């Protein structure tokens, strides 16, 4: 292979990327990175509000940026979004499933033990993470099947392989996302096209609005006991920053990983490698 060709594989000019949960903390970083590499990024999110300075920054990139209101649990709205995105940007090349998270009421606490976790909070968490990954793969995957090519990246979690304490539904749902990633990788390659690849990113611990209450005390400076435990189990000794995900994400989306499918890549500062001794 001509090595200069390899360096061009991170040029996403002309490629359409659908990004669910794209107005969230990690999604915003992914969108701006991809627009910076020339991609046409269609963000699909329940929340379409984004800070003005972010909008200005992302729209200055060489690529294009479109925010579409949608719900990853509503198939007919996903289908409407697909029509809109295809007519605005053309063929869908990539899908990132970043909509997800834990419902605070699905977290065990001294005042809310496992037996009392409310069913609606458990169901919300299971649905958002697992069904909310499967439905977009069905709807946007159909476009990839039509064109016989595409790359899907799901966002799973450290909680998938070894469940973290206190968040049983989130851990179970992300285990489902990892399992489904492997299933869909085989299914797409065998039933449709070896040019359709499916992989996942497993971020370690990134300080965001969803988990801040678990990791930082109210003073915003002191780590909670859980925060301290995580850092002491992370060989690189810090929380992740959203931009830490980008290199791996670009690699999985692009042809640089063209012989890679069905894998889960931890981006975790070494958390998953460390036994604690």
Ligand X SMILES: NC(=O)c1ccc[n+]([C@@H]2O[C@H](COP(=O)([O-])OP(=O)(O)OC[C@H]3O[C@@H](n4cnc5c(N)ncnc54)[C@H](O)[C@@H]3O)[C@@H](O)[C@H]2O)c1
When asked if residue 205 is in the footprint of ligand X (CB under 6 A), the reply is yes
When asked if residue 266 is in the footprint of ligand X (CB under 6 A), the reply is no
Contact 224/253 with Cβ under 8 angstroms?
no
Copy the structure tokens of residue 274: 């460390």
Tell the smallest beta-carbon distance from residue 75 to ligand X (Å): 12
Q: Distance between CA 111 and CA 95 in Å, rounded? A: 40
User: Which residue, 16 or 23, is less far from ligand X as judged by CB?
Assistant: 23
Is 192 labeled as catalytic in the residue annotation?
A: no
Q: Distance between CA 38 and CA 244 in Å, rounded? A: 19
The DSSP secondary-structure symbol of 155 reads E
Of the residues 54, 65, 170, 274, only one is catalytic, namely 170
- H or E element: which one contains 247? helix 246-253
Reduced to 3 states, what is the DSSP secondary structure of residue 20? Answer: strand
Q: Pick one of 132, 141, 150, 176: the residue that binds ligand X (CB under 6 A).
A: 132
For ligand X (CB under 6 A), the number of binding residues is: 29
When asked if residue 100 is in the footprint of ligand X (CB under 6 A), the reply is yes
The DSSP secondary-structure symbol of 41 reads E
When asked if residue 71 is in the footprint of ligand X (CB under 6 A), the reply is yes
Q: Distance between CA 25 and CA 207 in Å, rounded? A: 9
User: Which residue, 167 or 189, is less far from ligand X as judged by CB?
Assistant: 167
Stretch that binds ligand X, among 1-9, 66-74, 83-91, 221-229 (CB under 6 A): 66-74
Phi/psi at 20 (5° precision): -80, 150
When asked if residue 89 is in the footprint of ligand X (CB under 6 A), the reply is no
When asked if residue 73 is in the footprint of ligand X (CB under 6 A), the reply is yes
What is the layout of strands, in order, in the sheet containing 150-155?
Answer: 64-69, 40-45, 16-20, 94-97, 150-155, 196-203, 264-267
Q: Distance between CA 36 and CA 15 in Å, rounded? A: 12
Q: Mark residues 225-264: x for contact with ligand X by CB under 6 A, - for none.
A: ----------------------------------------
When asked if residue 69 is in the footprint of ligand X (CB under 6 A), the reply is no
Q: Pick one of 19, 35, 68, 72: the residue that binds ligand X (CB under 6 A).
A: 72
When asked if residue 25 is in the footprint of ligand X (CB under 6 A), the reply is yes
Per CB under 6 A, residues contacting ligand X are: 20-21, 23-27, 45-47, 70-73, 98-101, 128, 132, 155, 157, 203, 205-206, 208-211
- Which residues does the annotation mark as catalytic? 170
């Amino acid at each position: 292979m001509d090595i200069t060709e390899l360096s061009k594989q991170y040029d996403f000019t002309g490629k359409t990327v659908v990004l669910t949960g794209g107005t969230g903390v990690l999604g915003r970083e992914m969108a701006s990175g991809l627009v910076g590499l020339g991609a046409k990024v269609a963000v699909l999110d329940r929340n379409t509000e984004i800070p003005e300075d972010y909008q200005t920054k992302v729209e200055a990139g060489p690529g294009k940026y479109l925010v579409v209101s949608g719900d990853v649990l509503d198939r007919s709205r996903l289908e409407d979004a697909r029509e809109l995105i295809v007519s605005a940007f053309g063929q869908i090349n990539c899908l990132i499933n970043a909509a997800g998270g834990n419902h605070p009421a699905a977290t065990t606490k001294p005042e809310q033990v496992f037996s009392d976790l409310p069913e609606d909070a458990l169901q919300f968490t299971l649905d958002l993470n697992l069904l909310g990954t499967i439905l977009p793969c069905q709807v946007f995957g159909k476009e990839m099947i039509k064109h016989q090519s595409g790359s899907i990246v799901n966002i799973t979690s450290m909680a998938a392989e070894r469940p973290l304490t206190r968040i049983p539904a989130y851990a179970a749902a992300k285990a489902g996302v990892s399992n489904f990633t492997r299933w869909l990788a085989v299914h797409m390659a065998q039933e449709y096209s070896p040019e359709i690849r499916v992989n996942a990113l497993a971020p370690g611990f990134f300080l965001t609005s969803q988990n801040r209450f678990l990791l930082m005390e109210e003073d915003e400076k002191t780590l909670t006991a859980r925060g301290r435990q995580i850092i002491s189990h992370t060989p690189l000794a810090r929380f992740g920053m959203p931009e830490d995900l980008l290199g791996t994400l670009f690699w999985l989306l692009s042809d640089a990983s063209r012989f890679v499918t069905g894998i889960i890549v931890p981006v975790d500062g070494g958390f998953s490698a460390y036994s604690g001794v």
